[in-house]
């Protein structure tokens, strides 16, 4: 494939590593951080015959750009599951036994388009931050494999287009971000691990209702049959698993 320009759009480890890999295959590869770009639509809509690699990028490419260029996107789920925002969080909360990553061609709808390559990850007892780190690693290796293949047809086309798969919006959080103390024990654990995003926190802290008000949960500890919560107000809650 020959392109006039090659842009990696995004930031963080995945974007940086993808830029390095792309530079081994293409000339004039540029890593774009869109935070400082004033008119993104005008810039992207003027591009033609450009290879755009979207990695940890939240800008939505408009129809003109999609039509005139070849755009691929990294998404941290096994599409079509968990389209949209915070897929790692929703995967933990949903009790999925496996997750993974997808590189797919970009269409005019969110996280659809021909899937180029996917990698599965067994979730086991991961938190959201642990899953996201595993996804970042898998995404980098998959991108390298994809470029080395020359986008060969050996990569199975899983979907060319679909309307399925739940779409999570930026403003949505599991149970609106509130832990319900009446839940069964494993559901409590899933909720806490889903909100355990570590340094990748771009969501509010989870909350719990105490004496009629909502208080942030800052830390948690999960043991054999118990959960300890450390709250923003300095209070601690101990939750014991009911014995059957």
Q: How far is CA 190 from CA 84, 102, 220, in A?
A: 20, 23, 12
- Domain extent listing, the chain: 5-168, 174-240
Express each pLDDT in 114-124 by its tens digit. Answer: 999 999 999 99
How much of the chain, in percent, has pLDDT values that exceed 90?
A: 78
Cα separation, 170 vs 237, in Å, equals 29
Model pLDDT, residue 47: 96
Model pLDDT, residue 244: 63
Q: Is 59 helix (H, G, I), strand (E, B) or coil?
A: coil
- What mean pLDDT do residues 20-31 have? 94
What is 118-144 written as a DSSP string? EEEEE-TT--HHHHHHHHHHHHHHHHH
Express each pLDDT in 39-55 by its tens digit. Answer: 999 999 999 999 999 99
Q: Is 108 helix (H, G, I), strand (E, B) or coil?
A: coil
Reported as a pLDDT band with limits 50, 70 and 90, residue 2 is confident
Q: How far is CA 125 from CA 122, 217, 225, in A?
A: 9, 20, 15
What is the number of residues in the chain? Answer: 244
The dihedral through the CA atoms of 187, 189, 192, 196 has a sign that is: negative
- Alpha helix (H) residue ranges in the chain: 13-23, 40-45, 63-68, 87-93, 128-149, 185-194
Cα separation, 99 vs 121, in Å, equals 5
State the fold for domain 5-168. Rossmann fold (3.40.50)
Model pLDDT, residue 153: 42
Which residues, including other chains, have CB under 8 Å from residue 224's CB and lie 6 or more apart? none
- Is pLDDT of 210 > 70? yes
Model pLDDT, residue 1: 66
Lowest mean pLDDT across 34-38, 98-102, 115-119, 160-164: 160-164
Cα separation, 122 vs 134, in Å, equals 10
Is the pLDDT higher at 152 or at 32? 32
Q: How far is CA 189 from CA 64, 146, 149, 172, 225, in A?
A: 45, 36, 41, 19, 10
Model pLDDT, residue 21: 96
pTM for the whole thing? 0.91
Express each pLDDT in 140-189 by its tens digit. Answer: 999 999 999 877 644 444 444 444 578 999 899 999 999 999 999 999 99
How much of the chain, in percent, has pLDDT values that exceed 70?
A: 93
3-class SS shares of the chain: helix, strand, coil, % to 5: 30, 30, 45
């Amino acid at each position: 494939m020959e392109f006039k320009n090659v842009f990696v759009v995004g930031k963080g480890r995945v974007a940086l590593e993808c830029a390095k890999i792309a530079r081994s295959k293409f000339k004039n590869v540029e890593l774009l951080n869109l935070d400082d770009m004033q008119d993104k639509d005008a810039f992207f809509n003027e591009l033609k015959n450009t290879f755009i690699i979207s990695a940890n990028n939240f800008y939505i490419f408009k129809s003109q750009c999609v039509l005139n260029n070849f755009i691929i996107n990294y998404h941290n789920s096994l599409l079509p599951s968990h389209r949209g925002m915070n897929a790692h969080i929703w995967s933990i909360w949903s009790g999925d036994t496996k997750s993974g990553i997808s590189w797919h061609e970009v269409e005019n709808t969110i996280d659809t388009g021909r899937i180029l390559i996917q990698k599965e990850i067994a979730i086991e007892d991961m938190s959201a931050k642990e899953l996201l780190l595993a996804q970042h690693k898998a995404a980098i290796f998959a991108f390298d494999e994809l470029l080395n293949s020359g986008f060969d047809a050996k990569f199975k086309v899983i979907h060319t287009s679909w309307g399925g798969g739940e779409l999570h919006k930026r403003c949505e959080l599991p149970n609106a971000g509130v832990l319900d103390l009446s839940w069964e024990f494993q559901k409590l654990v899933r909720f806490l691990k889903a909100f355990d995003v570590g340094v990748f926190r771009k969501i509010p802290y989870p909350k719990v209702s105490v004496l009629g008000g909502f208080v942030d949960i800052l830390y948690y500890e999960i043991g054999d049959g118990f959960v300890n919560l450390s709250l923003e107000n300095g209070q601690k809650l101990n939750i014991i698993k009911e014995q059957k």
